[in-house]
Amino acid sequence: MKSACLPLSIAKTFMRHLLTSLLTILSATISFSQTDSVEVLFAFRITDYSVKLNDSVTVVQLVLPDASPVSIKQGQIGVLKHRYINGSSYDTALIGWGKCQLIKSNYYYFTIHKYHEEEPAQGNLLYTKCRAPVKYNGLLFNINRHGISLTKVDESQFYYTNDIFSEITPEKEKAILDSMVADIQFTGKKMLDISPEMNKNVKGGIYDGKKLLAAMQEVKRSEVEDFLQFMAAKPAKYAGNVWKISEVFATWMINETPTIKD
């Protein structure tokens, strides 16, 4: 598994600019309602498999689920980065870059040229451009390609991942968003009953001056859409993780509801 190597400093700078540019461009939500095939960046967690080829190059593995509609080509460039876990900015730092050198069934092997001595680890995120069919390129599609999974307060799913590519229409997406609204409202009411001390004043943002749990009970779909647009455009702290929509939405509320402007 050999690949051409750029000087480390040049490769590092090039891949940082490339990742930033691609994430900025491809994070925009562009809606259309016909079945089509698109190439966009997707994030995947790597497995615990790794083989150190030398001090600067390590082979890592990612596995796509059976019948996955997403396809990766041999030779495709990828960028490996930390997945946000412990609340540190280091959690989202770049680890290295490389290419897909081998494909065996659902298993894809990338040679990663590391920026530092640190070895890749299970759960790190590998971003690479993939081709995927998509019926509706909306909010849920753009969240899904960053490996973000949103659940109800009881941890049940709002939708299955493969539905994003074949089943989601504008109408179905609105219905799912309405389910998210209902879950946030339900959680706000239950938390007010269980822990009324958490119903604290919100400072800043669109909920400025309101009580947190009371405001959750009055959330509208348009506000959830604003949050999901922010999440899709600024995915670093969300990518590759499973989140309860009520918890991350409440965090967004108390952090002054940052939004993405046109």
Domain count, the chain: 2
CA distance 155 to 151: 5
State pTM to two decimals: 0.81
Residue 34 has pLDDT above 50, yes or no: no
Q: Tell me the pLDDT of the chain averaged across its residues.
A: 86
Range of the domain at 53: 8-134
Judge whether 3 lies within some domain. no
Model confidence over 2-18: pLDDT tens digits? 444 445 554 455 455 54
Do 32 and 110 share a structural domain? Answer: yes
Looking only at the bridges linking them, the beta strands covering 149-151 and 242-244 are: parallel
Q: Of 104, 134, 164, at which residue does a domain stop? A: 134
Q: Of 134, 165, 194, at which residue does a domain stop? A: 134
Model pLDDT, residue 27: 43
Judge whether 146 lies within some domain. no
Do 88 and 197 share a structural domain? Answer: no
> Residue 94 sits in a domain of what CATH number?
2.40.30
By percentage, how much of the chain surpasses pLDDT 70?
84
Report the b/e string of 126-161 with b at 16+ CB within 10 A.
bbbebebebbbbbbbbbbbbbbbbbbbeeeeebbee
DSSP E strands in 69-134: the ranges are 77-81, 94-104, 107-114, 125-134
